[in-house]
Amino acid sequence: MIYTVLLPAAGSGKRMGAGQNKLFLELRNVPILIHTLRVFDRDPNCEQIVLAVKKEEKVLIERLLKEYRVTKVSAIAEGGEERQHSVYAGLKAITTKGIVLVHDAARPFIHQVVIQQLVQAAHTSGAAVAAVRAKDTMKKAVNGIIQETIDRESLWIIQTPQAFQYTILEKAERLAEVENFLGTDEAMLVERLGERVHIVESTYDNVKMTTREDLLYGEAILNKREQ
């Protein structure tokens, strides 16, 4: 089933401490951003890729797209102060109003099977997110003191992609803007509409490159996949 992917790529990557946008850091000599783009560029069901980037990085990113022969990028929007603003800017640049996947440009290891399940779930039900089960015991604490142990059965760690029917996500983003609401992910904005958001079980290797250790993990995943 056909979809459009929107990749917010306008972060600064402070937690990586690289002094530059972490998406330009390389895993096996290829920038993280290109690894992520390739997943979608090579997927025949992906119709177009829309990027949200920092104004000052647009030229560099356009150069990378040429160098690595990424062909499906149909629009490059200007990202905003917060990730949510970048996503909304990208959404406005999408020309087809079918299924939209929002995916962190910093998550290069998403599997095709999860992508297709998300697209299918969003087509059928409106909204779906990739998630994995919490592996550790989960507790709630205030000021360092445990208040309660939370039943792990009902807990999910949420990732991206997050898949939506375009009209639902557009409405959610518009409402959040009007009400000056800042969510931690797109699903949260859609939940506010009263829409059901479904979970699609993903994999633990769909990790977001956030801190230095993640780069080691990323190299290991690539080495394993190329064996």
Binding interface with ligand C5P (CB under 6 A):
8-11, 23, 52, 79-83, 86, 104-106, 208, 210
Contact 121, 225 (CB under 8 A): no
The neighbour count for residue 184, using CB atoms within 10 Å, is 10
| Element at 108 (helix H, strand E) | none
- Asked if 85 and 79 count as a contact pair (C-beta separation under 8 A), the reply is yes
DSSP 20: S
With b for 16 or more beta-carbon neighbours within 10 A and e for fewer, the 64-100 pattern comes to bbeeeebebbebbbebbeebbbbbbbbbebbeeebbb
Of the pair 35, 83, the CB lying nearest ligand C5P is at 83
CB of 3 to ligand C5P, least distance (A): 18
- Tell me how far apart the alpha carbons of residues 70 and 100 are, in angstroms, rounded to a whole number: 19
| Residue with tokens 């647009």, as numbered in its chain | 58
Q: Length of the chain, please?
A: 227
Distances (CA, A) of 46 to 28, 42, 69: 25, 8, 16
Contact 106, 35 (CB under 8 A): no
